[in-house]
Chains A and B, each alone.
Chain A
């Protein structure tokens, strides 16, 4: 793979780790030590980052536009909750079970819907998450209905680290899991599989012509993505000891889509910047003037689309490029 071809398909970075890629983790460590009262918010941001990463894999790299990704997030969340209540509260085991379960759901649903595209695919994804929401709503004995699953009994990690009220254990737990998944996504994207996936997005007619198994690749990517989304959902349940209906449905799917596009699609780190900015802004604006939150975020979105395609990172890219040209 030559550098120019890689850039043409839209990679945001080379396979070698650049020092700036460590920035998010340094920031996370800083928050842990210097802003300990923000840890619950920090855990939430980390979980959304993982969720956004999983979406980027199929949306940015695979070109599958979906309004139904919350289905897998929510499924993972509820599986983790029910597992802890009914079987064992061991968090690591629960996490693995939820990830596998969400992946299987992704495989099953993907096999059915990935044969379509465009509006039909969009509507199918929407339908899936809405149906799951209704199931969670009605199946009160298992999911708790509108009240949700309360006081989910999560045991200390490895028997040692208890989930405390201050959110310290939760934050570190999320940090480690998200870091591991980030490494996984990064590796996939830069692998031959990732290149082929990008090919299916760019020009799947040609991919068919060269005999590449387009459908199988998309399905594989979809399964990995849904598994990651389920992991994020499980993290939410385990760190808050709670699972409720808001982990499913179109609203959450829409929100994570907005968060990702805000940061910048198809560049891995858009999935970091987007949720970070969105959640912090929402937290801040909602405290100052709750009624004006919608106005602020709406205008921000429109401005970004009009003037900052490629999201925040795209904007930064252009700014740096201009700086370089000015200096040259």
Chain B
């Protein structure tokens, strides 16, 4: 019994760390897909960019971990704004197919650039000394790095929820998600709103990618490999919501970890079977709006 409890705690902990990273990356996708109705399969590109940039900044400029993380997020957010204005905005009125094709093309380009710039081997994320080693939490020792991941993501999530629920900007985003035409008619500049929201979503993805670079390795084909997980989190959570993907990410993170621990042979089935069951039961996602 004791051993069982211990394993439950382990699973909960590791699953939480993985889930929080998934959330940090996917929440931006949920908002952009819900807000702009844009199928952005290339979302993982921003996460990858965040991770690679952070590592480069640490290597070349010698910045410590936290400033490098911040710099990476800001740069990716700014870069995404340019991308949004120049390319994405042209396709808002286009069909779903065009958006899918465009974002796949974007992934291809990003993967090629990453390979040329960083080579094919996965890049190690140099962790600061205080994050290596173990920490005592509730009498058990856990990798410090993962404790940091959980803590930082939790703080970020809190800020995000507060920001969207309590601020004017958050209200505008929610209004535009609910009914874009009405929001425009009351004078909300949806164009600017879209760009800023897109930047926020991409910056968050970069944050998740950089923070989680030790959990989900940085390789040039990152956007392809991880795409499925981001989509699963968003679809079972519910588009356009903040809390939906949170539930989705936790569900996937903990569930996947539990399977790896107890039934490793069938771990890969879990995510997809769970997705099917959940979506057939609630196609709009756990917290999505019924259509």
Determine which of B105, B239, B268 lies in contact with A134 in the assembled complex, contact meaning CB atoms within 8 Å.
B268
Interface residue? B82 (CB, 8 A): no
Known: A291-B116, A294-B108, A301-B104. A123 touches B232 (CB 8 A): yes
Interface residue? A302 (CB, 8 A): yes
Q: How would residues 273 to 291 of chain B score, 1 for a CB under 8 Å from any chain A CB and 0 otherwise?
A: 1011001100111000001
6 A-B pairs with least C-beta separation: A298-B108, A301-B105, A295-B112, A298-B109, A120-B283, A294-B112
Interface residue? A250 (CB, 8 A): yes
Known contacts A116-B280, A123-B236, A124-B279; 12 additional CB pairs below 8 A are A122-B235, A134-B269, A293-B112, A294-B108, A298-B106, A298-B107, A298-B112, A301-B104, A302-B109, A305-B91, A305-B102, A309-B94
Interface residue? A119 (CB, 8 A): yes
Give the residue among B90, B269, B273, B279 with the most A Cβ atoms within 10 A: B279
Chain B interface: which of A20-28, A213-221, A253-261? A253-261
With both chains docked as a complex, state the minimum distance between the C-beta of A35 and any C-beta of chain B, in angstroms: 29
A residues in contact with B284, CB < 8 Å? 120
Sort chain A's interface into a size bin.
Answer: 35 or more
B279 x A299 contact (CB < 8 A): no
A299 x B265 contact (CB < 8 A): no
B105 x A119 contact (CB < 8 A): no
In the complex the two chains form, what is the Cα distance from A251 to B279 in whole Å? 22
A residues in contact with B280, CB < 8 Å? 112-113, 116, 124
Give the residue among B102, B231, B271, B283 with the most A Cβ atoms within 10 A: B283
A residues in contact with B116, CB < 8 Å? 291, 295
Interface residue? A292 (CB, 8 A): yes
Interface residue? B186 (CB, 8 A): no
Smallest Cβ-Cβ distance to A294: which chain B residue: B112
With both chains docked as a complex, state the minimum distance between the C-beta of B90 and any C-beta of chain A, in angstroms: 7
Determine which of A124, A250, A251, A302 lies in contact with B106 in the assembled complex, contact meaning CB atoms within 8 Å.
A302
Interface majority SS on A: helix, strand, loop or mixed? helix
With both chains docked as a complex, state the minimum distance between the C-beta of A38 and any C-beta of chain B, in angstroms: 26
B101 x A301 contact (CB < 8 A): yes
Chain B interface: which of A125-133, A157-165, A184-192, A230-238? A125-133
Interface residue? A210 (CB, 8 A): no
In the complex the two chains form, what is the Cα distance from A298 to B90 in whole Å? 17
A120 x B112 contact (CB < 8 A): no
In the complex the two chains form, what is the Cα distance from A294 to B114 in whole Å? 11
Interface residue? A265 (CB, 8 A): yes
A258 x B104 contact (CB < 8 A): yes
A261 x B112 contact (CB < 8 A): no
With both chains docked as a complex, state the minimum distance between the C-beta of B6 and any C-beta of chain A, in angstroms: 29
Cβ < 8 Å to B, chain A residues 129-148: 130-131, 134, 137-138
With both chains docked as a complex, state the minimum distance between the C-beta of A65 and any C-beta of chain B, in angstroms: 6
